[in-house]
Amino acid sequence: MKLRKVSAAAAAALVLTLTATACGGDDKDSSDTGSGSGGGDKIKIGIKYDQPGLGLKEPDGSFSGFDVDVATYVAKELGYEPNQIEFVETKSADRENALARGDVKFIAATYSINDERAKKVDFAGPYLLAHQDLLVKADSDISEGTDLNGKNLCSVTGSTSAQNVKDEIAPKANLKQLSGYSECISGLQAGSVDALTTDDSILAGFAAQDQYKGQFKLTGLKLSNENYGIGVKKGDTETVNKINDALEKMVSDGAWETAVKDNFGPANYKNEPAPKIGNIVK
């Protein structure tokens, strides 16, 4: 099968989710993940720790990336200063459970909105549109039209990237699923993996790392549309609404563009323009 774009039937229910959750009514923030009142409280926010340019825990313990900047802006709008934020690692496969358990108040972690997830969590946003792509060795001949069935691919458990491979992109590929994308890189370097597949935003960040410079390239294939949302506990409509307001403000006051330049500029990632709240690109 040839590479082709995933025509996601997914996410159809999003608008419904965004507008029809007011009846959920179970929520009222009982946990200590953040009440929005500020005043000495902490807020726990889920991010990735191993995705340069999006969510990265630096060796000195600080955090960087576009998701970190978005999360910090949103937290401020909810009443929390940066020193009141506690970032928590939420790996791809753990996100729905982390929200259901109340481990975090919200998640900003390259978290694509889709139907399946929207059954378990609510989403604010979207705040970025990315596309699934392949990261291959600089001398690889994998490109548009290459049959990926039978190839050794690496992706992450619980990601849309892995699901898209299984459903549409290459159901007969030899797909290795690890717990984080950084873990796929050594296989790619060693040649046991032909391509690491996930969002182009993430892959660009890896390719631009000093230690990988010149070793890898993105194929530039837009294999899917990945609409990044901010996940919140199912039924917490109040927080969804507040976060949507914050995201709108972040775009209109220019902070979104600044975050894009700061975090994607170094990787030379050409991002899509800011999405409109509730506008899911299928």
Residue ranges binding ligand GLU (CB under 6 A): 92, 109-112, 156, 159-161, 198-199, 226
What is the bridge-based pairing of β-strands 43-47 and 106-107?
Answer: parallel
Nearer to ligand GLU, 48 or 234 (CB): 48
Shortest approach of ligand GLU to residue 51 CB, angstroms?
8
Per-residue buried b or exposed e for 232-246, using 16+ beta carbons within 10 Å of the residue's own CB: bbbbbbebbebbbeb
Q: Which are the contacts of 156, defined by CB distance < 8 A and separation ≥ 6?
A: 91, 92, 93, 162, 177, 178, 179, 180, 181, 184, 198
Q: Write the burial class of residue 78 (CB in 10 Å: 0-12 exposed, 13-18 middle, 19+ buried).
A: buried
Shortest approach of ligand GLU to residue 141 CB, angstroms?
25
Residue with the shortest CB distance to ligand GLU: 159
Nearer to ligand GLU, 159 or 244 (CB): 159
Shortest approach of ligand GLU to residue 162 CB, angstroms?
8
Shortest approach of ligand GLU to residue 219 CB, angstroms?
16
What is the bridge-based pairing of β-strands 55-57 and 50-51?
Answer: antiparallel
Contact at 8 Å (CB) between 87 and 45? Answer: yes
Nearer to ligand GLU, 80 or 229 (CB): 229
Shortest approach of ligand GLU to residue 80 CB, angstroms?
24
Nearer to ligand GLU, 89 or 238 (CB): 89
* Residue in 123, 130, 128, 129 with CA at minimum distance from that of residue 244: 123
Nearer to ligand GLU, 78 or 121 (CB): 121
Nearer to ligand GLU, 93 or 277 (CB): 93
Shortest approach of ligand GLU to residue 69 CB, angstroms?
17
**Residue 46 amino acid letter:** G
Q: Write the burial class of residue 179 (CB in 10 Å: 0-12 exposed, 13-18 middle, 19+ buried).
A: middle
Contact at 8 Å (CB) between 217 and 140? Answer: yes
d(CA 276, CA 259): 17
Nearer to ligand GLU, 106 or 111 (CB): 111
Shortest approach of ligand GLU to residue 94 CB, angstroms?
11
Shortest approach of ligand GLU to residue 231 CB, angstroms?
10
Nearer to ligand GLU, 29 or 115 (CB): 115
